[in-house]
Structure 1
Amino acid sequence: MTEPAGNAVDQLAAEINEVGARASKTVELGRRGFTIAVLTFVLLVAQILPWVGDHAGWQVLLGQGGGIPQLFAATSTGIGVVASALALASRRWWLAWVCAAGGWFATVDGLLSIWSQQSSHAGGAVGAGPGYGMVIAWVAMIVLAVNWMRTAFSRA
């Protein structure tokens, strides 16, 4: 039995609209997706490197080493690793915006963390300067935020 021509056209139109709606909610990452994945891995590696004194990044995340570095550890892990992984896996446009905005917040927070460690001897805080893991994480967050911002604006 053959379907009426109008019914087939309506089904095709509905399918095309569905594909269009799905495409409008996603971003195409291309090579930038690989760069973001590498930067996410760099952030994970930075967690095992020294951040504050002898404390590694994961220890700072758990509360050792001061409040400002702990906030940077939380934002760089939450946005740079968790949200980036979710956005890479789902390719959702709104998650790209979350990563872009959160990445810039984490970048500013990282700058404050480095500054707090450079001036810690004045306030008696832990650390005699930022550890190289914190600096690597900060640079990775800057590049990650730039990549997420370019991705988010690619749909605008």
Structure 2
Amino acid sequence: MSEDLSLLRRELSAIEERVAREVDPRGRGPVIGCAVMILVVALAAPQVDGLRAWQLLAGGHHEVAALSRLFTWFVVVFGIGVSAIAVLSRRWVVAWVAMAGVTVGSALGLLAYWSQHSVRSGAHTGSIGYGLLVEWAAMAVLAVLWIPVVAGRSNLLQR
């Protein structure tokens, strides 16, 4: 009888550990999915000086600030890639990486916008494309959505 109880305790402990590694985005999951799709569509829009995201990532235009390129990489990696994996896998670690990446990425988006507006010479009259603004807004929305999902895991805080 004692062996049966110890086996049951081990099984319950294994189940508890498996559940503790997961997060439940609840109603935020579809909204996160929509924000990821908005990021995918916004990559096709003009970013800086009429350049598309793939042109920024290729790095062929030296007059574009490095912050815009870095922000675009954060959008692709964390905003689209890691966020989609986190919603599908529901793993807390992946959700935490997504939250951290989109939070830093939204700050980089603000800096990219600021650098493109403030560091313009008189001869260069480039413009900020609406794609950069949409990406920045979607990254900020993702940060706002991921923070409560990651912070809502109370069993980590109790240990």
The two structures have a TM-score, normalised by structure 1, of 0.88
2:40 partner letter: L
- SS class of match (1:121): coil
142 and 46 in structure 1: CA distance in 2 versus 1, 3 angstrom threshold: same
The answer to whether the 8 A contact 1:33-1:88 is kept is yes
The answer to whether the 8 A contact 1:60-1:66 is kept is no
- The alpha carbon displacement at 1:8 in A equals 3.5
Q: Where does residue 7 of structure 2 map in the other structure?
A: 11
Extract unaligned runs of 5+ from structure 2: 155-159
How does 1:1-156 map onto structure 2 within 5 Å? Answer: 5-63=1-59, 64=61, 65-122=64-121, 128-156=126-154
2:103 partner letter: W
Tell me, in whole angstroms, the C-alpha distance in 2 between the residues paired with 1:96 and 1:84: 7
Tell me, in whole angstroms, the C-alpha distance in 1 between the residues paired with 2:122 and 2:101: 29
- SS class of match (1:102): helix
Percent pairwise identity: 34
- The alpha carbon displacement at 1:123 in A equals 7.8
Q: How many residues align?
A: 151
- The alpha carbon displacement at 1:72 in A equals 0.4
Tell me, in whole angstroms, the C-alpha distance in 2 between the residues paired with 1:143 and 1:18: 35
- The alpha carbon displacement at 1:124 in A equals 6.2
131 and 13 in structure 1: CA distance in 2 versus 1, 3 angstrom threshold: same
Pairwise CA RMSD of aligned residues?
1.8
Q: Where does residue 157 of structure 2 map in the other structure?
A: none
- SS class of match (2:33): helix
Q: Residues 99-128 of structure 1, C-alpha deviation per residue, up to 9 Å, x if partnerless?
A: 112111101110111112212422866x62
112 and 123 in structure 1: CA distance in 2 versus 1, 3 angstrom threshold: farther
Tell me, in whole angstroms, the C-alpha distance in 2 between the residues paired with 1:100 and 1:37: 14
